[in-house]
Amino acid sequence: MTHRFLISLFMGTFAKLKTEVLVYILGIESSCDDTAAAITGDTKILANIIANQQIHRHFGGVVPEWASRAHQQNIIPVVEVALQQANISKDQLHAIAFTRGPGLLGSLLVGTSFAKAFSLGLDIPLIDVDHLQAHILAHFIQKEDRQNTMPAFPFLCLTVSGGHTQIVLVTGHFEMKIIGHTLDDAAGETFDKAAKIMGLPYPGGPVIDQLAMEGNPNAFSFSESNIPGLNYSFSGLKTSFLYFLRDQLKKDAGFIENNKADLSASIQHCIVNSLLKKLIMASRQTGIREIAISGGVSANSYLQQMLRKTGEEMGWKIFIPAFSYSTDNAAMVAVTGYFKYLKGDFCGLDLVPYSRQG
Ligand code: KG4
Ligand code: ZN
C-alpha cells in the first residue's frame, strides 16, 4: 500500500466521521405563546417545528391561561412532526432539553412536565435551558452554507425580545454577563404597545416593521429616554407616543388611519436608535467589535439595516440570526442542550421552572 493511498484512506475515514452525527437532542420551547420542538444532530438542525397560537391576536396580547391550554394540545403533535421530519426514532435521541425559564409559569410547566416524562420514559438525560442564553447560542447553529459565520469570543449580544432588552458580554458558551438592561419596558413590548395604541393586531412588532417600509422615519419625533450608562428605558417613549396620538386625534379622528406608515416608521426609528446608541457605547467601553443581535426584535428589518450601517462605520463584525432562529423556536434550545450535553451538565426530575431571570 503506498503512502499516498494510506493518507487518502485516512482522510476518507476522517471526512466520514466528521459528517456523521454523534449526538441527537430534542429541544422543547414553551415559555410564552409558541409551542416548539426541534431536533439537532450536533449543531445541525434536523427539524424545527413551531405551533403558533393565533388565539391571542383577539386579545391584543398573550393570555397566560389560554397559552397553557394551547401548549397542552400542541406539545405532542409538534414533537411527533419533529421526529418525522428529522427522520429519526425517539430511541435514537441522546437527551431532551427544555426551556426552564424565564417565561409564563403555566406555559413553562407544560414543556417542563413533558420533557421530564419523556426523559423518564426513554431513560435519557434531561437538560434545562435558559431561554435568554438560548437566544444568544442560536448563533452557534450550523449554517447550511457551512461558512464559518459564528461570533468569536468575546462578543457583545444585544438580546431584544418581548420580555427582555439586554446587552450581554459573552466570553464563553455559558459565560455571559449582562452589562446593560431595560429598567422598564422591553423593546418588543414597546413595539407591541405602540401597535396596540394604533389599533393594530398582536404581536405588533412585525406589523409595524411592514407598515414602516412605506413610511418616513423622520415624519414625527417622540421623546427618547436619556438615562446614563448602558441601561435602557422605553416607558417614556411609549407615553410620549400615546399622548401625541391622543392630542392629534382630538383634531383629526382619522389621524392614525391616515398616517399609519409614517407613525410606524417614526416609532420604529426611535426604538432602533435607542438600541444602537447603547450598543455603540458598550462596544466603545469594552473595545469589542464582534457584535451580535438576538431575540424576536432582531428580526426587525430596520434594526438589521441600521446595524449593518453602524457596523460599517464602527468597523464591527456583525451577526444576525436567520429569521427562524430569532423569534421563539426550539432549535436554539436544542443547540444549547447540545453544548450542555458535551459538558455532562444534566438536571434532575425535581427541577422546577422559573418565571423571572435569576
Ligand atoms: O423572542 P420572542 O419571539 O419572544 C420572547 O422571548 O419574548 O420575541 C417576541 C417579540 C414581540 O414583542 C414581537 O413583537 C417582536 O418580538 N418582533 C418584532 C419583529 N418580529 C417579532 N419586533 C419588531 N420587528 C419585527 N419584525
Ligand atoms: Zn424569546
Residue 336, classified by CB atoms within 10 Å of its CB into exposed (0-12), middle (13-18) or buried (19+), is: buried
Q: Among 358, 354, 356, which Cα is nearest to 98's?
A: 354
Ligand 1 neighbour 296 (Cβ under 6 A) = yes
Ligand with minimal distance to 203 CA: 1
In DSSP notation, 132-198 reads HHHHHHGGGSPPTT----PPPSSEEEEEE-SS-EEEEEEEETTEEEEEEEBSS--HHHHHHHHHHHT
Distance 296 CA to ligand 1 centre (A): 3
- Ligand 2: distance of its center to the CA of 161 in Å? 6
Mutational test site, ligand 1, from 191, 270, 355, 356, max ligand atoms within 8 Å of CB: 191
* Residue 169 CA, ligand 2 centroid: distance in Å: 18
C-alpha cell at 81: 412532526
CA of 148 to the centre of ligand 1 (A): 27
Structural element, H or E, at residue 84: helix 64-86
Question: What pLDDT tens digit does each residue of the chain (358 aa) get?
Answer: 333 333 333 333 334 444 577 999 999 999 998 999 999 999 999 999 999 877 777 777 888 888 999 999 999 999 999 999 999 999 999 999 999 999 999 999 999 999 999 999 999 999 999 999 999 999 999 987 656 689 999 999 999 999 999 999 999 999 999 999 999 999 999 999 999 999 999 999 999 999 999 999 999 999 988 899 999 999 999 999 999 999 999 999 999 999 999 999 999 999 999 999 999 999 999 999 999 999 999 999 999 999 999 999 999 999 999 999 999 999 999 999 999 999 999 999 999 999 998 7
Domain 22-143+327-343 has CATH 2.30.30.170: no
Closest CA to 189 of 134, 233, 130: 233
142 neighbors 273 (Cβ within 8 angstroms): no
Distance CA 131, CA 301 (A): 23
Reference 337, options 106, 174, 104; nearest CA is 174
Q: Which residue has the cell 444549547?
A: 336
pLDDT at residue number 2: 36
- pLDDT value at position 51? 93
pLDDT of residue 11: 38
| CA separation for the pair 199, 195 (Å, rounded) | 6
DSSP state of 201: P
Q: Do domains 22-143+327-343 and 155-322 have the same CATH topology?
A: yes
Cα separation, 56 vs 33, in Å, equals 8
pLDDT of amino acid 15 = 41
Q: Whose CA is nearest to atom 21 of ligand 1?
A: 296
User: Which residue in 35, 109, 106 sits closest to 352, CA to CA?
Assistant: 109
pTM of the model: 0.93
- Does the beta carbon of 234 lie inside 6 Å of ligand 1? no
The predicted pLDDT at position 19 comes to: 57
pLDDT at 205: 97
For residue 27, the SS3 value is: strand
Q: How far apart are CA 119 and CA 126, in angstroms?
A: 6
Q: What angle do CA 73, 77, 82 make, to 5 degrees?
A: 140
Domain ranges of the chain: 22-143+327-343, 155-322
The residue whose C-alpha atom lies closest to atom 7 belonging to ligand 1 is 162
Q: Which CATH superfamily is domain 155-322 in?
A: ATPase, nucleotide binding domain (3.30.420.40)
